[in-house]
Amino acid sequence: MGNIVAIVGRPNVGKSTLFNRLTESRQAIVDEASGVTRDRIYGKAEWNGVRFSVVDTGGYAVNSEDHFEEAIRDQVLIAIEEADVILFVVDVITGITDYDQAVSEILRRKAKNVIIAVNKVDNHQQIPEASYFYSMGLKDLFPVSAINGAGTGDMLDHLVKTLPQQTYEEDPEIPRFTVVGRPNAGKSSLINALIGEKRNIVTPLSGTTRDSIFTRYNKYGHDFLLVDTAGIRKKARVHEDLEFYSVMRAIRAIENSDVCVLMIDATRGFEGQDHKIFSLIERNRKGVVVLVNKWDLIEKESNTAKNFAETLRAQTAPYTDYPIIFTSATEKTRIFKSLEEAVKVYENKSRKIGTSKLNDFLLPIIENYPPPANKGKYIKIKYITQLPSGVPTFAFFCNLPQYVKEPYRRFVENKLRKNWDFTGVPMNILFKKK
């Protein structure tokens, strides 16, 4: 669980090409089940059975031209703080640049696990040139070609060995919640309102994941672990405003929890950054509760909340089945309700439906509205079963799974959601050969 690899390096060295190569196969599996569109910055990878997340830091625009170096430096520092392994990409054709020197110096001083990918080594003849990069003083260096894949296997063998072992002293029965959102949305205020000043801690559990601490609480009759991100604990960081920073922070917290409480600021609406965090939650297949906070500051008419909720759901469509709660962390309005909803979403996420119940309900619907024939062939769904998984996952066994299209996947998902409560929970729908 929860290993993050961050790809750093200057523009044009091949970071996004390498990102695609690393995430292609694993992400395809995730995407197939979820219908979520691909993300070019954050994805899942797997090598030798080891899973990890990959973030391409180059996907985050560095705004000011003038302060380019400073901004890049900041990004590298954040990546070092937040990721388990840094994959530093350089380009064999251009050789070592000033930027590469500067970054390698930071990495030498501050980073624990660094791997250098000397990219664009498309053939054997270029391998000797790759070794010039040893002069940067970092030892784990691999000549690779992101385009044709050469050398990436050796690099990945080493990479997965470098990933820290993640072991938790954790009780799987206790739900893990986290509060995420843009800076100033009200996360710390919510946590203070919810749990007070550490008075109700049962036992502090330290996750081995850096900067992410599970604290166990027993409040209002609920037992839960709160995944506290350092972003919440250490306030007023210099780079708190950088989108890259808050996204990196959110990734770790999200990956470590079951249900994410996404806080948005009612006075700002649902912005780009909120959207990014929402999709991170969705693509990690975690439960979600959306809190529209600072609701005390909004002038209300009869339909204000309803309209806000409708607009919000329209923005996250087709995923619209999640709770939205209007809160005020400072006035302590609906704080308890937020916790209740998170618990409910956790229960929904764990819901198991028996095979006969599933088939009794779905087969008649499918009979009436079968998947459209494709290439002159009828698709026949024979039976449905829920697979054991942390996320509700339903396998539809049929003769020609490859011909079932996204709209039909949505159709059956909506039917499932109408009949059983899966509010706030992502769902995997798989069509399998039988």
Distance CA 183, CA 298 (A): 19
Binder of ligand GDP out of 2, 43, 183, 392 (CB under 6 A)? 183
- 184 is a site residue for ligand GDP (CB under 6 A): yes
- 5 is a site residue for ligand GDP (CB under 6 A): no
Distance CA 120, CA 93 (A): 7
Find all residues with CB under 8 Å of 404, minimum gap 6, and list them. Answer: 371, 379, 396, 398, 431
Binder of ligand GDP out of 3, 75, 104, 119 (CB under 6 A)? 119
Per 3-state DSSP, the chain is made up of helix, strand and coil in percentages (nearest 5) of 40, 25, 35
Structural tokens at position 410: 């949505």
Count CB neighbours of 171 within 10 A: 12
Nearest to ligand GDP of 88, 422 (CB atom): 88
- 330 is a site residue for ligand GDP (CB under 6 A): yes
Site string for ligand GDP, 374-393 (x = CB under 6 A): --------------------
- Rounded to 5 degrees, φ, ψ at 219 are -135, 140
- 118 is a site residue for ligand GDP (CB under 6 A): no
Q: Are 118 and 90 in contact (CB under 8 A)?
A: yes
Binder of ligand GDP out of 3, 4, 5, 16 (CB under 6 A)? 16
Query: Within 143-172, which residues bind ligand GDP (CB under 6 A)?
Result: 145-147
Distance CA 268, CA 287 (A): 24
Nearest to ligand GDP of 144, 412 (CB atom): 144
185 is in an annotated binding site: yes
370 cis-preceded (ω within 30 degrees of 0): no
- 424 is a site residue for ligand GDP (CB under 6 A): no
Q: Are 36 and 283 in contact (CB under 8 A)?
A: yes
Q: Are 432 and 396 in contact (CB under 8 A)?
A: yes
For the bound state, the minimum distance from the C-beta of residue 40 to ligand GDP, rounded and expressed in Å, comes to 9
For the bound state, the minimum distance from the C-beta of residue 428 to ligand GDP, rounded and expressed in Å, comes to 30
For the bound state, the minimum distance from the C-beta of residue 94 to ligand GDP, rounded and expressed in Å, comes to 10
Q: Which of 352, 351, 325 is nearest to 340 (CA)?
A: 325
295 is in an annotated binding site: yes
Nearest to ligand GDP of 146, 404 (CB atom): 146
Q: Where are the alpha helices (DSSP H) in 240-293?
A: 243-255, 272-283
For the bound state, the minimum distance from the C-beta of residue 338 to ligand GDP, rounded and expressed in Å, comes to 12
Site string for ligand GDP, 251-290 (x = CB under 6 A): ----------------------------------------
- 21 is a site residue for ligand GDP (CB under 6 A): no
Q: In Å, how far are 43, 283, 289, 362 from 251, measured between CA atoms?
A: 11, 11, 16, 36
60 is in an annotated binding site: yes
Q: Are 177 and 224 in contact (CB under 8 A)?
A: yes
Find all residues with CB under 8 Å of 303, minimum gap 6, and list them. Answer: none
Q: Which stretch binds ligand GDP (CB under 6 A): 6-14, 29-37, 246-254, 313-321?
A: 6-14
For the bound state, the minimum distance from the C-beta of residue 109 to ligand GDP, rounded and expressed in Å, comes to 23
Binder of ligand GDP out of 4, 5, 6, 13 (CB under 6 A)? 13
Query: Within 196-225, which residues bind ligand GDP (CB under 6 A)?
Result: none
Give the total of residues touching ligand GDP (CB under 6 A).
31
For the bound state, the minimum distance from the C-beta of residue 323 to ligand GDP, rounded and expressed in Å, comes to 18
421 is in an annotated binding site: no
**β-pairing verdict for 4-8 and 85-91:** parallel
188 is in an annotated binding site: yes
Amino acid at 370: P
Q: Which stretch binds ligand GDP (CB under 6 A): 106-114, 158-166, 179-187, 350-358?
A: 179-187
Nearest to ligand GDP of 74, 296 (CB atom): 296
- 297 is a site residue for ligand GDP (CB under 6 A): yes
Binder of ligand GDP out of 113, 126, 162, 188 (CB under 6 A)? 188
293 is in an annotated binding site: yes
> Per DSSP, which regions of 186-329 are E strands?
201-205, 212-219, 222-229, 259-265, 287-293, 324-326
Distance CA 182, CA 291 (A): 12
Q: Are 95 and 118 in contact (CB under 8 A)?
A: no
Binding-site residue numbers are 9-16, 56-60, 119-122, 181-188, 228-232, 293-296
Binding-site residue numbers for GTP are 9-16, 56-60, 119-122, 181-188, 228-232, 293-296
Query: Which residues contribute to the site for ligand GDP (CB under 6 A)?
Result: 9, 11-17, 58, 119-120, 122, 145-147, 181, 183-189, 232, 293-294, 296-297, 328-330
